[in-house]
Chains A and B, each alone.
Chain A
Amino acid sequence: MIENKELLAKKEQFSAAIEDALHEIGSPTVEIVSNKLLQDYHCSIPDCLEHPEYFRNILREVFGYADIAVIAVIKKNLGEFSLEKPVGEFLQVLSK
């Protein structure tokens, strides 16, 4: 139960960092990425903490080679949070 709550809190923090990065481009960018995640993988941004490859694929599909700039902003937004296990693994997959 406590573990679930912790994961939920992490997912919220994680989701906020990602949405902020996408907001920097333009608010509807969050909508584009969320729509694509839902359409292709039936999941939302917080679920990507467990499925980073979904998020990486969507970023590449939408932004092409410019995805590395979005990933850099996400890394910056996550800050120290990226040292924690699931977030660190997420970033590792994203950087591949």
Chain B
Amino acid sequence: MQTNLEKINPIRFLISSLLVVGFIVMIANVLGKETATITTDLLYVPISGSLLILSIVIAAKYGIQGNHGKSYLSFVGFVACWFIAELVWISSELVYHLKPFPQEAEWFYLGGYPLLLLFTIYYLKPFEKAISKKMLSYALMATTIFLVPTIYVTNSYNQNSNLIEIIWAAIYPVADSVVLFPAVIGMTLFFKGKVGFLWSLAFFAIILNIVADSGFLFLDMDKSYYTGNPIDILYLWSYILFAFGIYSHVKLHKKPKMKSYGNTEDLK
């Protein structure tokens, strides 16, 4: 018998989750900036927390052996860094009423990137021989497409902001572009495969991060950013995409249910 959870189509569930989160942030914005800030800050906890739980589940399954074991361990490290960063951001904003950017949280956000890169490297390592020059050129093209405009925008808007703020803000889109490279390889390599779903979602999650980080860079320099700004929807969506990707891998390990053939006597 199928449980209610199994009956839900994961794609529909994913789209509904994205729409609900987007809708909540937009409604909160209609009610005012303060409401938007509190609502969005509080949304980050369960969303990034769910991703952390799912990544711990899959890492526990693989242990530390094999390339994928190391890969998932790195992923847990990455998600843990970002989860801590969200908590630090929220506490500095809601409890200590400080301007949360740039603050201590940045070290955790930045610390997550090398771990995300390690995740992709360890995951792709066993499939090294299947990576073609065509895949590498697609990855390079995608990285360049996102990296060049980011550097251009950073240079164009650096007159009114202080150097430290520019460096902090520009470092994110650059780091996103770096992790985009293996994500594109993974997406093309595992295309049509069940593991490809994680890579496709990871690709879109990184794209959302690039767009959100570039938008953040622009808004922060313009002094118009506040937590809960509609641009935050992209960050929340990125967590959701990662979470559904990891969930698809957790599901791959489910024991199969044998089909019922009715009365076995009839088969004789």
> With A28-B62, A68-B130, A69-B128 as given contacts, are A62 and B194 in contact (CB-CB < 8 Å)?
yes
Chain B residue, CB-CB nearest to A62: B194
* Segment among A1-9, A35-43, A45-53, A81-89 that sits at the interface with chain B: A35-43
Is there a chain B Cβ closer than 8 Å to A26's Cβ?
Answer: yes
Contact indicator A64/B195 (Cβ below 8 Å):
yes
Q: A36–B251 Cα gap in the complex (Å)?
A: 12
Q: Among residues 48 to 96 in chain A, which have CB atoms less than 8 Å away from a CB atom of chain B?
A: 60-70, 72-73
16 residue pairs A–B, Cβ–Cβ below 8 Å = A25-B66, A26-B67, A26-B69, A27-B62, A28-B253, A29-B68, A32-B252, A39-B257, A60-B192, A62-B252, A63-B193, A64-B195, A69-B128, A70-B126, A70-B127, A73-B126
Question: 4 closest Cβ contacts across the A-B interface?
Answer: A64-B193, A26-B68, A39-B256, A26-B66
Interface band, chain A: 20 to 34
Chain A residues closer than 8 Å to B190, beta-carbon distance: 63-66
User: Which of A26, A60, A61 sits near B65, CB closer than 8 Å?
Assistant: A26
Is there a chain A Cβ closer than 8 Å to B102's Cβ?
Answer: no
Is there a chain A Cβ closer than 8 Å to B188's Cβ?
Answer: yes
User: Which of A35, A42, A66, A69 sits near B254, CB closer than 8 Å?
Assistant: A35
Is there a chain A Cβ closer than 8 Å to B13's Cβ?
Answer: no
> With A25-B68, A64-B195, A65-B189 as given contacts, are A36 and B126 in contact (CB-CB < 8 Å)?
no
Query: Nearest Cβ in chain B — how far from A39, in angstroms?
Result: 3
> With A27-B66, A68-B130, A69-B127 as given contacts, are A32 and B253 in contact (CB-CB < 8 Å)?
yes
User: Which of B63, B69, B129, B191 sits near A64, CB closer than 8 Å?
Assistant: B191
Contact indicator B192/A65 (Cβ below 8 Å):
yes
Q: Which of B61, B65, B191, B193 has the most CB of A within 10 A?
A: B193
Chain B residue, CB-CB nearest to A23: B66
Is there a chain A Cβ closer than 8 Å to B196's Cβ?
Answer: yes
Q: A23–B149 Cα gap in the complex (Å)?
A: 42
Chain A residue, CB-CB nearest to B191: A64
Q: A63–B252 Cα gap in the complex (Å)?
A: 12
Q: A23–B62 Cα gap in the complex (Å)?
A: 10
Is there a chain A Cβ closer than 8 Å to B223's Cβ?
Answer: no
Is there a chain B Cβ closer than 8 Å to A12's Cβ?
Answer: no
Q: A35–B191 Cα gap in the complex (Å)?
A: 21
> With A39-B256, A69-B126, A73-B126 as given contacts, are A26 and B194 in contact (CB-CB < 8 Å)?
no
Q: A39–B63 Cα gap in the complex (Å)?
A: 25
Contact indicator A69/B256 (Cβ below 8 Å):
no
Q: A87–B126 Cα gap in the complex (Å)?
A: 23
Is there a chain A Cβ closer than 8 Å to B133's Cβ?
Answer: no
> With A28-B61, A62-B195 as given contacts, are A69 and B130 in contact (CB-CB < 8 Å)?
yes
Is there a chain A Cβ closer than 8 Å to B7's Cβ?
Answer: no
Query: Nearest Cβ in chain A — how far from B231, in angstroms?
Result: 33
Contact indicator B61/A65 (Cβ below 8 Å):
no
Contact indicator B194/A24 (Cβ below 8 Å):
no
Is there a chain A Cβ closer than 8 Å to B97's Cβ?
Answer: no
